[in-house]
Amino acid sequence: MKLCVAHLLVLCIAATKGGLPNNIKSSSHFQIGKIKSDGTTKTCSEDKRIDVEDGATVDDKRDIKTDVREDKLSSLQTDNLDLIVSIPQDGRPKLYTIARAVELIFNRWYDLSSWSERHELSSDCEKDVETAIRSYLSNEMWALQMFDAWAKSGPSLLLGRTSYVGNFYQCRDTSSPLQATRPGFKGNYCVATLVNLTHIPDMDPFINVAYMMINFGMCLPSSCSQTDAQKLLQERIETFNVSSLLMAASVDCRTDDKEQTLFTKLAIFILVVFGVLTFLGTAIDLVYVQLPKWMSSNVVQQTEKSDQDEHNKIKENVGNKENASLHGKEDCITASGGLSSILISFSAWTNGKRLLTVSESSNAITSISGIRFFTMVWLTVGHVQQWMLTWYSDNVSETYPVMMTYSMHNLILNFTLGVDTFFTISGFLVSYLWIKPIIEKGWKFNWRYFFLHRYWRLTPPYLIAFILVEGLQGYLVSGAVASSIQPGDKVACEKFWWYLPLYIQNLLVDNYQDICFIHSWSLAADMQFYLFSPLLLIPFYYHKVAAIITCILFILANWTYLIILTYISGWSFGIQVVSEVLVRFGYFPSYARIGPYIVGVLAGYIMSS
């Protein structure tokens, strides 16, 4: 009874302030009540129907879209304008205005009934959306669970929380009952990404980027494609008249279905082959190489216990026998061809000892290894922190100012500079290792070896790592944000996987989401730097001063390009929004990042001199 009274009170207040929401006015049936213990709906009055709009009686048997037409759209917008906080006179929306717009888009989901007529959804999606809304308004449990799985703007939106994932598993587990004319459907979980189109003066401009991408989970019928979901989201933005504030950037529908692609089969094949080779190599290594060494060592230790004369005699005899035995086994291995040597190279025992050793060669520059380690930690911590702030932080606007007061946090926030550190190290090593042979031989230098050795050394392990990740990552993670943390994007890799062996993935994409195996962009840039490096090294063969001047001119040209790009794009100091211009022309292209590499080339020349 209390529930009925509360609902009637809400309706009265809504009518007093400008009428009922349009979806209630135009829907074919709206029951007020609660679910009985047997699952049926108990209304406030079993015989009573609600009359709206000039006394017209809404019958529960009428279709939900009967009165939903385009002539209702303008009134729907007008009715909801009072729900949006007015934009300040200076034209810059306040943070709470953005928060209110987001709340309208995702919390007032029942206005879905106006979308299908306006944007011509696919037939199945349109019918299933209507069925879901009708069932929700009838308090059917499966529909309540489906819309309950929707993300809702809740606490901390004003403090910078940008991700509301909803309930992935509840959405996927929801299913409608069979219908008379068509089968039932399951829930389809999608993540909608909104982009804030305005500047937010409430915040420090350095951290304004925190509010640029807002992620929300939606639960739609499984018959709705990503295209349908994108249309629904765009209609919602237009319905509430907030298109000047927010833009629907993308909708990504996600699933836990394990699809066996070609990459999956290749990954399994690689694991099986490596497993067999490792087993055989380890067995041969232990039986024919390690075991004789252990036996020889044990015999020597036992003979040391006797007196010196007897020790020498035994050692001589045993040594001859062991040498004969070892020579025989080595001859056996050699006689069988290089196959045994190849298999031993896969030995877990021998490779394990090599991996765990800390000794360095006399020519190694150990400080480079230290810089690599700390840079790797820097990049890892920075990416993790960025991910946590993007998806899981409830108070970004409070967290960033606090972080800015500590030098260590400032270091972590600028983790992207770690990539430039790797580029500098790469340029240093190329110059340090190759500049002396090039100065001595000039054009007679073995350039074929210079290029082919680099490609052959990097490409096989690089492609194997890609195949393993792309083929198996779907079996290692699941849930609402699973696809966001997978380095091998399924759609991008199906289209652009062949960019990887050519090392061109950082040059031919307009959006970072189109890069397959996204973190491989730096490896592609480094390969391009390597191919370019002869133009920096050959001048040292003719004139050292001229070569140094050439390097400096390239650095100045790189700086000039970045300054012009920054000026044209209107970028300010601070963290920049990931935009098409930044991705395509400023961050990923090798010609925009070559400056640190050339600095490394100069440092390598100085060290080698």
Residue type, 367: S
Task: For 282-314, write each residue's pLDDT tens digit.
Answer: 999 999 888 888 877 765 555 555 545 554 554
The confidence score (pLDDT) of residue 212 equals 62
The confidence score (pLDDT) of residue 308 equals 53
Q: Is 45's pLDDT higher than 50? A: no
Q: In angstroms, what CA-CA distances link 395 with 210, 214, 579, 583?
A: 10, 14, 24, 27
- Residue 520 is classified by DSSP as G
Residues 52 and 50: their CA atoms lie apart, in Å, by 7
Query: How much is the mean pLDDT over the chain?
Result: 74
Q: Using alpha carbons only, give the angle 19, 22, 26 rounded to the nearest 5 degrees.
A: 115
The confidence score (pLDDT) of residue 46 equals 39
Which residue did the predictor score with more confidence, 515 or 284? 284
Q: Is 21's pLDDT higher than 50? A: no
Task: For 420-479, write each residue's pLDDT tens digit.
Answer: 999 999 999 999 999 989 888 888 889 999 999 999 999 999 999 999 988 888 888 777
Burial classification of residue 141, based on how many CB atoms lie within 10 Å of its CB (0-12 exposed, 13-18 middle, 19 or more buried): exposed
Beta-strand relationship, 41-43 and 213-221:
unpaired
Q: Is 375's pLDDT higher than 90? A: yes
Mean pLDDT for 47-63 is 39
The confidence score (pLDDT) of residue 162 equals 75
Strand partners, 56: 52
Task: For 338-364, write each residue's pLDDT tens digit.
Answer: 788 889 999 999 999 988 887 777 777
Let me know: does 378 contact 418? Beta carbons within 8 Å.
yes
Which residue did the predictor score with more confidence, 33 or 255? 255
The confidence score (pLDDT) of residue 526 equals 96
Q: Is 325's pLDDT higher than 90? A: no
Q: Is 157's pLDDT higher than 70? A: no
Q: Where are the alpha helices (DSSP H) in 360-514?
A: 366-391, 396-404, 407-413, 417-441, 447-472, 490-496, 499-502
Mean pLDDT for 402-420 is 81
The confidence score (pLDDT) of residue 79 equals 40
The confidence score (pLDDT) of residue 298 equals 66
Which residue did the predictor score with more confidence, 197 or 431? 431
Mean pLDDT for 505-533 is 88
Burial classification of residue 304, based on how many CB atoms lie within 10 Å of its CB (0-12 exposed, 13-18 middle, 19 or more buried): exposed
Task: For 141-153, write each residue's pLDDT tens digit.
Answer: 998 899 889 888 7
For residue 159, give the nearest of 217, 108, 96, 100 by alpha carbon: 96
Strand ranges (DSSP E) for 41-108? 41-43, 51-52, 56-57
The confidence score (pLDDT) of residue 40 equals 42
Mean pLDDT for 52-63 is 40
Residues 291 and 8: their CA atoms lie apart, in Å, by 87
The confidence score (pLDDT) of residue 412 equals 84
Q: Spell out a b/e string for 533-557, using b for 16 or more CB atoms within 10 Å of the CB, else e.
A: bbebbbbbbeeeeebbebbeebbee
Secondary structure of 400-417 as H, E, C letters: HHHHHCCHHHHHHHCCCH
The confidence score (pLDDT) of residue 284 equals 92
The confidence score (pLDDT) of residue 303 equals 55
The confidence score (pLDDT) of residue 414 equals 83
Q: Is 324's pLDDT higher than 60? A: no
Let me know: does 496 contact 394? Beta carbons within 8 Å.
no
Q: Is 14's pLDDT higher than 50? A: no
pLDDT classification of 593: cutoffs 50, 70, 90: very high
The confidence score (pLDDT) of residue 329 equals 44
At 324, which helix (H) or strand (E)?
helix 308-335
| Radius of gyration for the alpha carbons in the chain, expressed in angstroms and rounded | 34
The confidence score (pLDDT) of residue 198 equals 66
The confidence score (pLDDT) of residue 609 equals 80
The confidence score (pLDDT) of residue 576 equals 58
The confidence score (pLDDT) of residue 530 equals 97
